Amino acid sequence: MAGNVKLNKLNELEGFIGAALVDTNSGMALGLLGGGSLNMEVAAAGNTEVVRAKRRAAASLGITDAIDDVLITLSKQYHLIRPLESNQDLFLYVVLDRSRANLAMARHELKAFEQTLDFK
């Protein structure tokens, strides 16, 4: 589906560390980019559970809104999880260096990047 060629644009995000396009059903990364010392495959699989848990919680509360994104803030990193509007079975996962990233801009650029993905 999407490989590194499709994810390369995310490398331009300020503070970029790594990115993955992840299948929510299997936890498998369909595309990986960067990561450095962070194992992006393991992180992608682990964050699949975050997406599933948030969806279960929303459903149990009767919340019908779609998740725009989930932000996990660490002392040195931001982890952004964005379920795709065009395919709720997939999500983008991006890790940014907190000291260099502009979080508002990263969220905006990630949403714009999603529009460039084509799964036809």
4-114: CATH topology is Beta-Lactamase (3.30.450)
Percent of the chain with pLDDT over 90: 82
pTM for the full predicted model: 0.91
| Averaged pLDDT, 95-108 | 96
Count the alpha carbons within 13 Å of 28 in the hemisphere toward its beta carbon: 6
Indicate the domain borders of the chain.
4-114
Sign for the CA dihedral angle at 76, 44, 87, 2 comes to positive
